[in-house]
Amino acid sequence: MQPSPLRRVLLYVAAIVIAIWTTAPFVWLIISSLSYKVDLLQRPLRWIPTRITLENYTDLLVGTGEAAQQAAQFLAALKSSLIVALGATAICLVLGTFAGYALTRLTFPGSRYYLLILMAGQLLPPVTIVIPLYVILRAMDLLDKQLGLVIVYISFILPLVVWILRGYFASIPSELEDAARIDGTTRIGALFRIVLPLAGPGLASTAIFAFIAAWNEYLYAFVYSAVDAKTVPVLIGEFSTKLGLEYLRMAAAGVLAALPPVLLALIFQRFIIRGLTSGAVK
């Protein structure tokens, strides 16, 4: 049954409104990062700047003079964010693969309730466990260290990874593994030779979701890092001087910080779509 013309028009209008509502802040972020401060203060406001400058980006990446220290801090924070996000994503993907497969294919005491207990921890507000985690990290001498942030990020990313991968593994017929095991393959062999290749799109999309969650995290990074493990979101929040906030550099840093997740989503777009729709049609 085809939707009526009026309904189609309303759907298109709603989609356009949602798209504008979603992308307008990011578009303004890009415009601000390419503008001079005096142009942003003009009235009436101009969406298309008359002058474009890359000064805000060069100050962040290869700053000289007073901007040199800020550029060094930004590059160090960018490196720290990459290490923490990639490390947490890799560990969560490995552990989540085995845990999700076990919950899908194996039966063990408490298997029916394990996933519910795992996800119940996600109901706790992050602020409620900030102090306990701080005490643990201080006792382990992991404060202001990238390894400490990786461990903390695993605590809230791993349940999400297990939940998502369990759904992907459940969409793969178990008869394929049974046939492989009849031919002499072990359960682990069937996992690596049969299940994981078929779950490739799901693994790719899950990895991207985990990376974005780790990359954008602010609260834990703000509390548990000071200098050495400071990440990009924390550093952007510190862009201030005696004269006020440096909005233009914050905008440029925001654009640069958004590039890795956006590029990953664009490069692996087809895997994300296939992963999100896997199991929808038998």
**28 and 118 together in one domain:** no
Task: For residue 263, tell me if it sits in a domain.
Answer: yes
Which of 48-57, 81-90, 132-141, 201-210 shows the lowest mean pLDDT across its residues?
A: 48-57
Domains in the chain: how many in total?
A: 2
Convert the pLDDT of each residue in 45-62 to its tens digit: 777 777 888 888 888 888
Predicted confidence (pLDDT) at residue 251 exceeds the cutoff of 60: yes
Give pLDDT, residue 139. 93
Task: For residue 206, tell me if it sits in a domain.
Answer: yes
DSSP structure string for 85-108:
HHHHHHHHHHHHHHHHHHHHH---
Calpha distance 259→181 (Å, rounded)? 44
At 227, is the pLDDT very low, low, confident or very high (cuts 50, 70, 90)?
confident
Task: For residue 104, tell me if it sits in a domain.
Answer: yes
**30 and 124 together in one domain:** no
At 126, is the pLDDT very low, low, confident or very high (cuts 50, 70, 90)?
confident
275: Cβ–Cβ under 8 A, 6 or more apart, which residues? 168, 201, 202, 203, 204, 205, 206
**38 and 81 together in one domain:** no
**44 and 74 together in one domain:** no
**76 and 47 together in one domain:** no
Q: What angle do CA 197, 99, 138 make, to 5 degrees?
A: 125
For residue 49, the enclosing domain spans 1-53
Task: For residue 117, tell me if it sits in a domain.
Answer: yes
Task: For residue 204, tell me if it sits in a domain.
Answer: yes
CATH assignment at residue 74? 1.10.3720.10
Task: For residue 63, tell me if it sits in a domain.
Answer: no
Predicted confidence (pLDDT) at residue 242 exceeds the cutoff of 50: no
Report pTM. 0.84
At 244, is the secondary structure helix, strand, or coil?
A: strand
Calpha distance 140→229 (Å, rounded)? 16
Over residues 202-223, the mean pLDDT reads 90
How many helices (H) and strands (E) are present in the chain, helices listed first?
Answer: 15, 2
Query: Mean of the per-residue pLDDT values for the chain?
Result: 84
